[in-house]
Amino acid sequence: MLIDCFQTSAQISRLIIFVKREDITYIYGQSLNKQLNSGNVETQYEQIYKKQHYSLVGKHSAVKVCHWTKSELRGGEGCYKGTFYGIKSHQCVQMTPAVSSCTENCSFCWRFQGFDGMHISDEDDPEFILEESIKAHKKLLTGFKGNPMVSKEKWEESQDPKHIAISLTGEPTLYSRLGEFIALARKRGISTFLVTNGTLPMVLEKLDPLPTQLYVTVAGPTKAVFNSVLNPALGNAWENFNRTLDLLPSLDTRKVIRHTLVKDINFPFLEEYTAMDRRAEPDFIESKGYVHVGASIANLSQDNMPSHDSIVDFSKKLAANLGYVYTAERRESRVSLICKDPSKAKIDFSAI
């Protein structure tokens, strides 16, 4: 079996991009040949996800407890999104409704990229995904109940999630019932952050309701860099992405541009990012440095990690160019925040 030659998640991830043999040709975006599907591929994927502490939900969703959720539960610091926006990490569920579907295969992504297409053919009900994702998240937290570092108050709060980050892996806008999922979360008083690569503007312009906060990853300052770094599966991905930038000002929700910056590859390109951000008119802009971990180590080197100081310098120059305000940073996450209006950065959760 061809798959037997690929033992690591990074190697298998690269197999998903292109496999060629006398009787098999698979290009990312199409379905796997029946000869592969009838073998051990799915089982190996499941093993990889479980080894990385994912909990698979239904046919196409997954949950994974974030490092910062565990940290805050134990009395430590929470995620930078708490510093920036007021999110409580110990009450946050990190999930995706598209664990094996994406329109890109980003070289800087640290997640296992076991993507098998750009279409979810047999979709689960959004209420099922929401309910089972919360159950799976709670189950993954079970071992913390008896941890002496976890207070009774924090533990009880963790059992009542107040936030869902739709961001774990894959491209969530490929799930056609995403709006229903967000509406159900809102009905339960749960805020939502949706992270998208922006290659499906036709979904964003019709998405109803919109999430509490919409993130668009902007990591390709030119078409050439976009294609080489993000490895899009769509032939018109660059054009679609630019449509998303132009669409953003009309979307009535909190909007964030996130620059994932890889030294000497898509960074600094200050003027190009300035022009893109000016078109998008986001409320907030996060500049985040690439970290050499996970699946990305097969594509990039440690030398591609920008220093936190260089990220801060870039962010301050970007703020000056756009008339935004440099607002916050978290050194351990190599991330900084600039805002159009810093007084609006913290979310009013009572309005969810």
127 lies in the same domain as 233: yes
In this predicted model, what pLDDT tens digit does every residue of 132-160 receive, in sequence order? 999 999 999 999 999 999 999 999 999 99
The structural domain count of the chain equals 2
pLDDT band at 115 (very low <50, low <70, confident <90, very high): confident
27 lies in the same domain as 162: no
Give the containing element (helix H, strand E) for 96. strand 92-96
pTM to 2 decimals? 0.88
Please state the rounded mean pLDDT for residues 274-292. Answer: 98
pLDDT for the residue 48: 87
31 lies in the same domain as 122: no
C-alpha 352/C-alpha 347 separation (Å) is 9
In this predicted model, what pLDDT tens digit does every residue of 208-239 receive, in sequence order? 999 999 999 999 999 999 999 999 999 999 99
5 lies in the same domain as 69: no
213 lies in the same domain as 148: yes
116 lies in the same domain as 31: no
Return the CATH number at 205.
Answer: 3.20.20.70
C-alpha 183/C-alpha 127 separation (Å) is 10
208 lies in the same domain as 259: yes
8-state DSSP, 267: B
Interacting residues of 88 by C-beta distance below 8 A, sequence separation 6+: 72, 78, 82, 157, 162, 163
Mean pLDDT, the chain, whole residue set: 89
C-alpha 351/C-alpha 91 separation (Å) is 17
87 lies in the same domain as 4: no
66 lies in the same domain as 108: yes
8-state DSSP, 33: P
C-alpha torsion 264→269→273→276, nearest 10: -110
pLDDT band at 174 (very low <50, low <70, confident <90, very high): very high
180 lies in the same domain as 317: yes
Three-state DSSP state, 259: strand
In this predicted model, what pLDDT tens digit does every residue of 295-309 receive, in sequence order? 999 999 999 999 999
Please state the rounded mean pLDDT for residues 186-211. Answer: 98
**What range does the domain containing 19 cover?**
1-51
Nearest CA to 254 out of 85, 92, 94 is that of: 85
119 lies in the same domain as 29: no
